[in-house]
Amino acid sequence: MKVDNKYFCIICEGEKNIGYHLYHSFICSDCEKAMINTDVSDPSYQYYLKQLKKIYAPKITI
Ligand SMILES: [Zn+2]
C-alpha cells in the first residue's frame, strides 16, 4: 500500500511526507536532523526555536 500523504512542516514550511507529528503539528525528518545537529550558539538555532514556539503556543479561538 502506497502512502502518499503530504504534511506541512512547521519548521521549513515545506510539504514533506517523512517526519513525525508533535501535538497538532508536523516536523519533517530533515528539520529534525538539522535541529539535532545545530549548536545552541548557532543563529539558526534561534530560528528553530521561533518556529517551535508555534507548536507550544496554540492559537486560542473562541
Ligand atoms: Zn521541515
Ligand 1 centroid from CA 10, angstroms: 7
Ligand 1 centroid from CA 22, angstroms: 13
User: What's this model's pTM, rounded to 2 decimal places?
Assistant: 0.75
Ligand 1 centroid from CA 31, angstroms: 4
Q: Identify which of 18, 8, 17 has the alpha carbon closest to the alpha carbon of residue 51.
A: 8
DSSP 13-54: --EESSEEEETTEEEEHHHHHHHHTS-TTSHHHHHHHHHHHH
Q: Which three cell numbers stand for residue 51?
A: 518556529
Q: Which three cell numbers stand for residue 7?
A: 504534511
Average pLDDT rounded to a whole number, residues 37-56: 91
Higher pLDDT, 49 or 54: 49
Ligand 1 centroid from CA 59, angstroms: 21
Ligand 1 centroid from CA 25, angstroms: 11
Q: Identify which of 53, 26, 47, 19 has the alpha carbon closest to the alpha carbon of residue 35.
A: 47
| pLDDT tens digits along 23-39 | 889 999 999 999 999 99
